[in-house]
Structure 1
Amino acid sequence: MITLSTRTLMFIASAYGANKTFSAASNASQCELSFASDPSLAIGDIVEISSGWGRLNNRLARVDSISGSGPYLVVLEDIDTSDTDVYPAGTGTGTVREVSSWTEITQKKTISASGGEQQFADITAIEDETEKKIPTIRSAVSVSVEVFDDPTLAYVPVVKAAADASRVAGVKMSFPNGSKLYANAYWSMQDVPNIAKNEALTTKIDMSYASAPKRYAS
C-alpha cells in the first residue's frame, strides 16, 4: 500500500528516566533482559539500551512484555539477538533508560535520508576474469530536515542542547500508515536561516544515526 508523506510526525527525545542495570541479556528472537530489581517499565515503553553487544548498544527498542519478580524479565520487541557469533553469550549486560518525554519537531518542509548502502570489498584475484566483491559494512545513515524558521518553537532548545553537547538523542517518526521508526542520533542545527527573495525563512536540522534504526509496523 502506498503511504503519503502528509501527516508524518517527527519527535526528539527530550527527557529520560534513570539508568536501570540488567544482569543478563538472552540470545533469542526477542531479546530478554534480566533485572535484579524492578526496572519500573511498562509494556510499550521506548528504552535506550547500553550493552556490551556492539549491535545492541545505543539502540532504541519497545518493551514487548514484562514478567517475574526477581529476576524481573523484560522482552524487547523484535530485537533478534539469537546469533551468538554477533551476540556472544554472557557478554550483553548493561543498562536501559526509558524515553519519558518526546518533543515534536514542527513546521517541517522536507525530510531526506541518505546512506545505509551496503559497502563491498574487492576480492578479485589476478587469474579471475570477472570482478568479485564481498559485503563489508554499511555506510552511515544521515537525515536532513528542512524546517520553516522559528526560534521560539519548543523543539529548538532541545535540539540545540543535544547538538552543543555532541550527545545522542532519540528520534521518533510516526507515519500516516501507523508505522513508527525509532533511532538514536547525533544532532546539529543551522543557526543562520536560509533567506531567499519573497520566500519563507528556512533552516536545517541534520542527524547522523548512532546505531541501527528500528521500525515497527504499528
Structure 2
Amino acid sequence: MAVSLPNGTTMSLAKTYGAVIAVTAVSNAKPAVCTAAAHGLQDGDLVEVTSSWSKLNNRVFRVSASAAGTFALEGTDTTNAAMFRPGAARVSVREIETLEQITQVLESTSSGGEMGFTEVGFLEDDFASQLPTQASAQSIALNIADDPALPGYIAIKAAAESRSSRALVAALPSGSLILYNTIVSLNETPTFTKNQVMAVTATFSLKTPPVRYAAQ
C-alpha cells in the first residue's frame, strides 16, 4: 500500500508545438512503434497524437525507444486487433517543444468522470441489471493567485483565447507524470473575499482520458 500527498506537484501548460510529423505505419505491439522518416524525436519527448485509432487519438504520450526512422509511444498497448485494426492507423504526431509552469496554484479540483449506466430488464425476468455506458466529460479547475504578469497566467490566457488543444502536465513529487490534453478557459475576474488571497480560475476541459507514467 502507498499513499501520497500532492504537496510539491507542479502544473505546466504546453506553450509551443513542433511541426506535424507524418507517421507512415504503426505496429500492433506493446508499446506501439511508429515509423516516421527523420522524425527528430528523442526518448522522453512528449507528443500529441492524432490517429484514426480512437484510443490513441488526441492523447499525449512520452516517446521511448527512439531510433532512426522509428519511435515508440511509451505505455501504449495496441495488440488488440479488434480495437486497433491492423494497417488502419492513420497517425501523425507533434512534439510539445516548450512548457510553461503555472505558478501560485492555490487549489486544484476535478469534476466529471462519473460512469453512466443504463438499466436492462426483460419482460420475463423479475429483476433488472445495469450496464455501464460511458463516463461523463471531465475537467480540472486551478484556483490561481491573481497576477496577470506571471508567465503561467499569460500562457493560460493565450491558450484560452486560441481555444486550441493544449497539453497540461502534472509532475508529482515522486517523479510520476500525468499528461492531459485539454481545451483551456480562463475566468479573469478575481475573487474579492476579505482576508483571502485574490484568485482567478483556469479550467482545463479534458479531450481524452489522461495518460500516467510512474516515476522512472
For this structure pair, what is the TM-score category when the shorter chain's length is used for normalisation?
A: over 0.9
Aligned mates of 1:31, 1:132 — CA distance in 2:
37
The equivalent of 2:72 in structure 1 is: 75
- 1:10 is displaced (CA, Å) by 0.2
The equivalent of 1:60 in structure 2 is: 60
Deviations 1:97-143 (A, max 9, x none): 11111000110111111222222222222333222111221211211
| RMSD of aligned alpha carbons | 1.2
Instruction: Name the TM-score, length of structure 2 as normaliser.
Output: 0.94
Give the one of 135, 138, 147 matched to 2:135: 138
Q: What SS does the corresponding residue of 1:38 show, helix, strand or coil? A: coil
Unaligned stretches of 5+ residues in structure 1? none
Higher mean C-alpha displacement, 80-89 vs 200-209: 80-89
The equivalent of 1:171 in structure 2 is: 168
- 1:184 is displaced (CA, Å) by 0.4
Q: For residue 162 of structure 1, what is the amino acid of its counterpart?
A: A
Q: For residue 187 of structure 2, what is the amino acid of its counterpart?
A: Q
Spell out structure 1 runs of 4+ moving beyond 6 A.
none
Aligned mates of 1:22, 1:123 — CA distance in 2:
43
Aligned mates of 2:122, 2:214 — CA distance in 1:
44
Aligned mates of 1:82, 1:162 — CA distance in 2:
35
Q: What SS does the corresponding residue of 2:157 show, helix, strand or coil? A: helix
State the percentage of identical aligned residues. 32
Deviations 1:23-78 (A, max 9, x none): 1111112111111x2100001111111111122111100111123x4xx1111111
1:110 aligns with 2:107: yes
Aligned mates of 2:25, 2:147 — CA distance in 1:
46
Instruction: Name the TM-score, length of structure 1 as normaliser.
Output: 0.94
Unaligned stretches of 5+ residues in structure 2? none
1:8 aligns with 2:9: yes
Q: What SS does the corresponding residue of 1:92 show, helix, strand or coil? A: coil
Higher mean C-alpha displacement, 11-20 vs 110-119: 110-119
Higher mean C-alpha displacement, 189-198 vs 80-89: 80-89
